[in-house]
Amino acid sequence: MRRKSSLVLLAFAVFFAALSPLMRWYAFPRLAKVPANQYQVVVLEAKNATLLTDTSLVPKVVPKLSVIQTLKGNVEESKKVKADTGRDVVVWDSLSYIVGPDGKMVSQVPERYIFDAHSQDPVHTASESVDGDPVHREGIEFKFPFLTEKRDYFYYDAQARTTAPIHYKATQNFRGLKVYYFEQIVPWVKVPLPKTMPGGITPAALGGSVERWYTTKRMFWVDPTTGAPVNGEEVHQEELRFPQTPDTKPVTVFAGDVKMHEDYIDSTVELVKSQRQLILLLTSYLPWGFLILGVVLLALSLFLEARGRRPADPAPDDTVRDPDPDPRPIAV
């Protein structure tokens, strides 16, 4: 009976030991993915920012400027892309909506970002766009991959329509989470004018010979388990330049330190804390739990097998003997 029990325990030990790496290296890459119907709103603010509000070309310092950034999963479009490419994809329709201190719209830039739901690698289709213009993204945007590493990544800049490295700088503690701090500096570069600008500002209204230049220092604090930024900040500057009149000084369109609003930082941190448990379940808790369980079952199996092979105690002798035999010969 002990031998049968040890064989059963050995079978379960092998099963759980084999399940441990399968859970980490096979199930996790297939089960962990960004949901196609995700909807998220983030509000960022720039206090005491410099802003160009009309065609007078006189920038003003405003007490507060708000950037409302929405990410909305387009489920129907993701199904179409999946049918065309055979890949499990997510389609995000994003809108960066900038509001001045008077509550009026300053500018808005829509985007369509298509990426692999598991790896976050960009997926290229004809509908991929920024501000209505077709683009070909390389690198990540908005979100880092699951299990973010301490290394540089290529990050797409929607303003410049180019990709550049974003550098890992340090590991920090942010509101109870261990996060990776990333930083990217985009040097001055010529970029397209947004199709929607404040106060009726258009290239035609400015004489037709105007260029928009931009630079920024981009900072992210990223939860390495989910790859989700829990905080973001940009030291951002834009200006108009007039190449046909080199004596004309550049005009600042916007200059300010754009930071995530405190309320949205708190809600983002709480959301990430709940989501990271699902990732840890697939990458750490279950694999290590199955491995430890397999080792325990193997030890128990070997213990029962060893007990089953131990020699049995000798059976008692039932022969009746004289309790005090007398070895002396009997005299005749």
Instruction: For 23-41, write each residue's pLDDT tens digit.
Output: 888 888 888 899 999 898 8
Give residue 68's domain range: 32-260
Cα–Cα distance for residue pair 126/128, rounded to 1 Å: 6
Q: Is 295 left (phi over 0), alpha (psi -120 to 50) or beta?
A: alpha
State the pTM of this model: 0.84
Q: Which residues contact 314 (CB under 8 A, 6 or more apart)?
A: none
Residue 313 lies in a domain: no
Residue with tokens 């022969």: 319
Region 164-190: what's the mean pLDDT?
96
| Confidence band, pLDDT 50/70/90 cuts, at residue 318 | low
Domain count, the chain: 1
Cα–Cα distance for residue pair 58/51, rounded to 1 Å: 9
Q: Does residue 2 carry a pLDDT above 80? A: no
**C-beta neighbour count of 295 within 10 angstroms:** 13
Residue 300 lies in a domain: no
pLDDT digits (tens, 9 = 90+) for 277-295: 889 998 999 999 999 998 9
Q: How far is CA 171 from the centre of its chain?
A: 16
For residue 9, give both structure tokens: 């325990």
Residue 330 lies in a domain: no
What single string gives the DSSP state of each residue in 234-301? EEEEEEEE-TT-TTSPPEEEEEEEEEE-HHHHHHHHHHHHHHHHHHHIIIIIHHHHHHHHHHHHHHHH
Per-residue pLDDT, 312: 55
Residue 6 lies in a domain: no
| Confidence band, pLDDT 50/70/90 cuts, at residue 8 | confident
What single string gives the DSSP state of each residue in 42-75? EEEEEEEEEE--STT---EEEEEEEEEEEEEE-H
| Confidence band, pLDDT 50/70/90 cuts, at residue 332 | very low
With 0-12 CB in 10 A as exposed, 13-18 as middle and 19+ as buried, what is 166?
buried
- In order of 91, 179, 226, the CA distances from 173 in angstroms are 32, 6, 16
Residue 96 lies in a domain: yes
Residue 277 lies in a domain: no
Q: Do the beta carbons of residue 111 and residue 117 sit within 8 Å?
A: no
Residue 275 lies in a domain: no
Residue 58 lies in a domain: yes
- In order of 129, 156, 168, 183, 288, the CA distances from 153 in angstroms are 21, 10, 8, 10, 29
Region 196-223: what's the mean pLDDT?
80
Per-residue pLDDT, 329: 55
**H-helix or E-strand spanning residue 302:** helix 286-309
